[in-house]
Structure 1
Amino acid sequence: MTCEFVFLPVSNADSMIIYPNGGSAVVIDLHKIPTLLKWFQNKKETNISRLYITHEHRDHFPSLEDLVTFLDNWLKSGKVGSICLPYQVYQQAKKKVDSDRAANKRLEDALDQLRRWEKKSIINFIEVTRGSNPYSQDFLEIHVLHPGLLYAQEHLASIKGRGNEISVVLRVTYGNFAAVLLADIEGAGLKDCVDICKPHELNANLLKIPHHGAWPNNGDDLKQLLEAIDAEIAVLSVGSTNNYGHVVPDLFDLLLHLKNDTSKRLKKFACTEVTRTCVKSAIERSAMKKSGLDKQKFCAGEITIIAETSGEWQLKTQTVHEDIISSLPRAACQGKADLGIISP
């Protein structure tokens, strides 16, 4: 028995599919919906048993209006079991509509449609916080590690913005194989995740690196978290042309440190797209400020981890990955990147 963990190449954003052999798919985040639809068409799969939206930022969530458009089309020939919306997103949208109906007519229509689907039991809508609404399908289990309920409520009550801090962090197990998916966790949320999670919850074979290769102000907490996860393979969903300086050299430096540490298990890390750190020198990057490369270029492209219940896994990439890496003048995963100057 196997389960595919698929990271779609959606630039500096996230869209992921978990697809157990003989089962139905779980989707995590929605960016570049056409790319997601193409994957499902190729698989001839029409059932999404659960959809997680880790947080409200547009590189993970298309908006409630666009989500309804996607679901309207999907439900013509497919099914959706349950959707985990970002914490309190419906409530906040309802307040926005009530404040100015004329200006938010499309949003009001979207909320009405969501309620109709709920009333008719077409889709079940749930919010997820630590310990709530676990998912199970044969050998596959998904649990929420972060945010805790009170942390999420306190954050929303006292802080505007900084949505990454309440990103939903998931632990996914398939028999003896485990993955920890860190969404865009950073800042106070990252520290809270480190504090609240038990060692056995974190240890995993597969790690999804948070926030597309960013480096948080509390980098020591990220280092502590990645060391606790002690993954065998790490995946970065990144975009060649991003204007955030991703992948930040500090992040690659940490991954190389873990890879070269014989007491750690990291064997490999892979990026969906080539980023400037693997192409440009530190001096060149400094002159670029935070701008990315001129054109998109796949590194691994679509990344699939094929996991077995035994805990064994294999990597499948859309590109001939080793050839791409060999063509890069400063491939970070080969230790060739110029990491001497921190990107601005």
Structure 2
Amino acid sequence: MTCEFVFLPVGNADSIIIYPNGGSAIVIDLHKIPTLLKWFQNKKETNISRIYITHEHRDHFPSLEELVTFLDNWLKSGKVGSICLPYQVYQQAKKKVDSNRAANKRLEDALYQLRRWEKKSIINFIDATRGSNPYSKDSLEIHVLHPGLLYAQDHLASIKGKDNEISVVLRVTYGNFAALLLADIEGAGLKEFVDICQPPEVNANLVKIPHHGAWPKNGDDLKQLLETIDAEIAVLSVGSTNNYGHVVPELFDLLLSLKNDTSKRLENFACTEVTRTCVRSASERSSMGKSGLAKQQLCAGEITIFAETSGLWQPKTQTVHEDIISSLTHPACKGKADLGIIPT
């Protein structure tokens, strides 16, 4: 029996599917819904057990209106068990509607439809905070490790924006195989997570690198976290054309140091799309600002990890990954990137 951990190539964004053999799927984040639908059509799968939206940013969450459109169409032939919406997103939307109903008619209709589905028990809406609403089906378990309930409430009461800090972090286990999916966690949220979560809770075979290969101001906390997770494989969901400089040299440098450290387990890391760091020298990047490449180019493309309950796993990529890597000037995963980092 195997479970597929699928990272769709959706640019500088996330859309992840967990698909256990013989069971219905779990979806984490909903960027580029057509890409998600194509995957389900190819699998001829119509059941989704749970949807997690890790936070409200548009590279993870399409908006409540677009979510309702997706669900309306899906429910014509399929089922959805439960949805974890971003923390307080419904409440905030309700306030927005109440402040100007005429200008927010579509949002009001979306809220009505969500409530109708809840009242008729068509979909169950649940919280996603630390320790709440674990998922368990046969050998598959999913637990929320971040944010804590009071941390999320405190954050929303005192800070405007910075939704990445309350990104939902998930630990997914399939027998002896574990994955840690870090969404976009950074800043104070990253610090909170590092302080609270310790081994063995955060140890994992697979890690989804947070925030598409960004480097937070508290990079030492990210370094500590990735060292503690001690994953065997790291996945980066990143877009070639992104205008944030992702994947930044500091992140690649950290992954290479873990890969080359014989005391660590990291065997490899893979990006869904080619990044500028893998095709441009440091001097070339210095004249680009934070702009990305001119067009999308798949690197691994869709990345699937086939996990067994024994803890063994095998990767599968959409592209012939080694051929793509060999065509690049500075492939980071082969240690050939011109990172331009001055040692301190």
Identity value in percent: 88
| Structure 2 match to 1:87 | 87
Is residue 2:56 matched to residue 1:56?
A: yes
Could you tell me whether the CA contact under 8 Å between 1:50 and 1:83 is conserved in 2?
yes
Compute the displacement of 1:73 (Å).
0.2
* Alpha-carbon displacement from aligned partner over 1:36-64 (angstroms, at most 9, x marks no partner): 00000000000000000000000000000
Gaps of 5+ in 1: none
| 1:17-36 map, 5 Å | 17-36=17-36
| 1:1-344 map, 5 Å | 1-341=1-341
3-state SS, counterpart of residue 58 of structure 2: coil
For 1:67 and 1:127, the matched residues in 2 are separated by 17
Compute the displacement of 1:103 (Å).
0.7
The runs of at least 4 aligned residues of structure 1 exceeding 6 Å deviation read none
3-state SS, counterpart of residue 274 of structure 2: coil
Compute the displacement of 1:198 (Å).
2.3
* Alpha-carbon displacement from aligned partner over 1:96-146 (angstroms, at most 9, x marks no partner): 100000111000000000000000000000111000000011000000000
Counting matched residue pairs gives: 342
For 1:294 and 1:198, the matched residues in 2 are separated by 41
For 1:180 and 1:255, the matched residues in 2 are separated by 16
- Matched to 2:281, the amino acid is S
Could you tell me whether the CA contact under 8 Å between 2:139 and 2:175 is conserved in 1?
yes
* Alpha-carbon displacement from aligned partner over 1:223-269 (angstroms, at most 9, x marks no partner): 00000100000000000000000000000000000000000000000
- Matched to 1:114, the amino acid is L
3-state SS, counterpart of residue 298 of structure 1: coil
Could you tell me whether the CA contact under 8 Å between 1:283 and 1:341 is conserved in 2?
no
- Matched to 2:91, the amino acid is Q
3-state SS, counterpart of residue 298 of structure 2: coil
3-state SS, counterpart of residue 80 of structure 1: strand
For 2:196 and 2:150, the matched residues in 1 are separated by 12
For 1:322 and 1:307, the matched residues in 2 are separated by 21
* Alpha-carbon displacement from aligned partner over 1:64-100 (angstroms, at most 9, x marks no partner): 0000000000000000000000001000000010000
For 1:87 and 1:200, the matched residues in 2 are separated by 27
Compute the displacement of 1:341 (Å).
4.4
- Matched to 2:229, the amino acid is I
Q: CA RMSD in A?
A: 0.6
Gaps of 5+ in 2: none
- Matched to 1:240, the amino acid is S
For 2:207 and 2:134, the matched residues in 1 are separated by 19
3-state SS, counterpart of residue 274 of structure 1: coil
For 1:195 and 1:107, the matched residues in 2 are separated by 38
For 1:54 and 1:159, the matched residues in 2 are separated by 18
For 1:340 and 1:283, the matched residues in 2 are separated by 8
The TM-score normalised by the length of structure 1 is 0.99
Could you tell me whether the CA contact under 8 Å between 1:177 and 1:307 is conserved in 2?
yes
Could you tell me whether the CA contact under 8 Å between 2:250 and 2:341 is conserved in 1?
no
The TM-score normalised by the length of structure 2 is 0.99
For 1:341 and 1:243, the matched residues in 2 are separated by 20
3-state SS, counterpart of residue 131 of structure 2: coil
